[in-house]
Structure formats: structure tokens, C-alpha cells
Structure 1
Amino acid sequence: MYEPIRTKSVHSTMAADVRVPHRSREEELDIQLAGHLAALLAVTDELGLDSAGDAIARQIARLRGGMPPVRHAGLRGGSASALHGRAHALAGRALVVAASRADTAAAILAAERMDAHALALAP
């Protein structure tokens, strides 16, 4: 009923034979965690929390193999409560990834930042 395919598939390419470097799950989680922490760092710097920002920057540098993050507080004039809410959400995301990666230091830092921002949001 069906005729067997006698030609080479059009979906295979020469590039398929070349080994493409792939990142491991741990490397992908490192990149994701560093990204969440970098976003948290930006909001933390905008809030003017220097010591907390320094601690976050150290964790980012550790995840990036010693390369420190670029820090620039692009002040947008957001309200403090909105910034604390955003920072709390970002710290929560970082905590989830840190827990998935089993990174105790980053998880503790993220949990501390969540507590600090939750306290700032409390009436």
C-alpha cells in the first residue's frame, strides 16, 4: 500500500553530524538563578539598600564564575511599596530556583530578602 522511502530525509542536515555543545541542567539553573538575582539586584539598588545589594552581587558573581554584575540603579521614580512588592516576587522566584538547584547560600539570601520586603510591605 505504501512505498518505502528510498531517499535521504530532508530533515537531516550536515549540521546534525557536528557535535553542538549543550549545557547541563545545573548550568541552566545557574544562568536562571543569576538572572533572577540580577533583576532583584536592580530593584534593590533602586530602593537604595546598599548592603543587601552587595550580598546579592556577591552571589551573582559566584554563579558567574567570579564575574561581578554591572550595577546601575536606573531610578524610575516608582513608589517604595511597588518596588518592595516587585522585589518580594523576584526573591521568591530566586528562592524556587535556588531550592531546585540545592544552592543553600542563594536560598538563604533569597529567603532573607523575601522576609525583608514582606516586612517593608506590612502595614
Structure 2
Amino acid sequence: MYEPIRTKSVHSMADEAQYPHRSREEELDIQLAGHLAALLAVTDELGLDQAADAIAEQVSRLRGAPPARHAGLSGADPADLHRRALALAGRALVVAASRADTAAAILSAERMDAHTAALKDQQLVGAP
């Protein structure tokens, strides 16, 4: 009634050994390093050298190499930079907590507090 299938299905999975795979922890390390590197760029632009050095240390630990430091200034409003840094620190905190990285979580929480305080000092917390 039906002719048997003679060829391999196009829907079959490729050989798993052909493709590199990373563990969940490795993926979280990459994601955390990315969020911290973005936070580092904003922190450098704000001129917060001590905080930037602490962030760079964590990025180095996660990547195994020192990060590229932000070279140019965007001329963005400091309040906008603080808001961006607050959001990035929040993302880093979520990933750090997910991978149980205490050092990165503490650093992220400290940065969130610092940027929140800076925005409150400028009375711009709720402003867009």
C-alpha cells in the first residue's frame, strides 16, 4: 500500500558531536560578563573610576581576560546614564543570583544603590 521510506528524514537531528555546546553555567557566565561589561562602559563614562575598577575586576574574572575599557564619551545626560546603569546593574544582579555568584551579586546591588542615590540627589528617579 505505501512505499517504505528509503532516505533519511530531513527532520532528524544532526550529529550532536558536530556542534559545540555550553553548559547552563557557561551561558550564564557569558551573559553576566556582558551585562557587567555594558555597566562598565556607562560607569567609565560617568567618571566613577573606583566603581569601574571593581566592575572590570569581575568582568576579568568571568572572561579570563581584562575587558576593553570605554574610550569615548557619548555626551549623554548624567541622569540618563544613571538610569541606564541602574537597569544594567539590575540585569546583572538577576543573572548573578541565578548563577549563585555572590561577588557579582553584591557588586551589582551596590551599583544599583549608588545609581538610585545619585538619581534621588538629582530628584530624577521618576522622570523619564
Normalization by structure 1: what TM-score?
0.90
TM-fit CA distance, 1:17: 6.4
User: Counterpart in 2 of 1:96?
Assistant: 94
- Match for residue 83 of structure 1 among 81, 95, 103: 81
Match of 2:22 in 1: 23
- Equivalence for 2:126: none
- Secondary structure in 2 matching 1:30: helix
Aligned equivalents of 1:119 and 1:31: distance in 2? 29
Query: Residue type matched to 2:59 in 1?
Result: I
TM value normalised by structure 2:
0.86
Post-superposition offset of 1:49: 0.2
Percent identity, aligned pairs only, is 79
RMSD: 1.8
Deviations 1:100-121 (A, max 9, x none): 0000000000000000000000
Aligned residues: 121
CA distance change for structure 1 residues 4 and 26 in 2, over 3 Å: closer, same or farther?
same
The answer for unaligned runs of 5 or more in structure 2 is 124-128
- In the TM superposition, residue 21 of structure 1 has moved relative to its aligned partner by 2.1
Which letter does structure 2 place at the counterpart of 1:29? Answer: L
Partner of 2:113: 115
Matched with 1:6 is 6
| In 2, Cα distance between equivalents of 1:32 and 1:51 | 23
Give matches, 1:30-109, under 5 Å. 30-65=29-64, 67-109=65-107
Change (3 A) 1:107 1:18: closer
- 2:15 is paired with a residue whose SS is helix
- Structure 1 residue ranges, 4+ long, deviating more than 4 angstroms after superposition: none
How many angstroms does 1:9 deviate by? 1.9
The 2-side partners of 1:61 and 1:32 are apart by: 14
Q: Cα offset for 1:10?
A: 3.3
CA drift of 1:3 comes to: 4.5
Residue 74 of structure 1: CA displacement? 2.0
